Amino acid sequence: MQKSLYIDPEKCTGCLQCEMACSFEQTGVFNPSQSRIKVFSFEEEGRKVPYTCTQCDEAWCMQACPVDSIKLDAATGAKVVQDDTCVGCKVCTISCPFGTINYVVETGKVAKCDLCGGDPACAKACPTDAITFVDANWTGLDKMRKWAAKANDASL
């Protein structure tokens, strides 16, 4: 069964534990700037929203790579950058419409979420379950039904 990250911004407190866990898992240091997940701050709304690679089916990054350095991990469904073949050309960063692939100056290569090999550190570290690792086929139908029922009740 393929799984994917599910992010519920309503539950995010902005604690940045996801960023810290990711940076430590991926680089061995606690440094949010090294994280492959970012927490965006919407100051006017008073909200924080975690965001990372959604592992698109289309995977424009993978299609754009001129040296085939982004490969599909069949076990996790993640599109993973192969450091040994990445030439740091940044074409994938340009092709990603969501801006979730980043160039890393220290390595001269790009980095993106790889789902931590199927055990995402960000989801394990999130104290409010704003980030969970769920069945990729989950559609959120139950949540939509609850919302529809609540909206219907309000109109009565």
| Contact (CB, 8 A) for 88 and 82 | no
What integer is the mean pLDDT of 43-68?
Answer: 93
Note the pLDDT of residue 137: 75
Note the pLDDT of residue 142: 63
Domain that holds residue 19: 3-154
| Contact (CB, 8 A) for 12 and 50 | yes
pLDDT in tens, 96-152: 999 999 999 999 999 999 999 999 999 999 999 999 999 877 656 566 667 677 766
CATH number of the domain that residue 121 is part of = 3.30.70.20
Number of structural domains (the chain) is: 1
CA 35 vs CA 22, 29, 122, 152: distances in Å: 5, 10, 10, 41
Q: How confident is the model at residue 23 (pLDDT cuts 50, 70, 90)?
A: very high
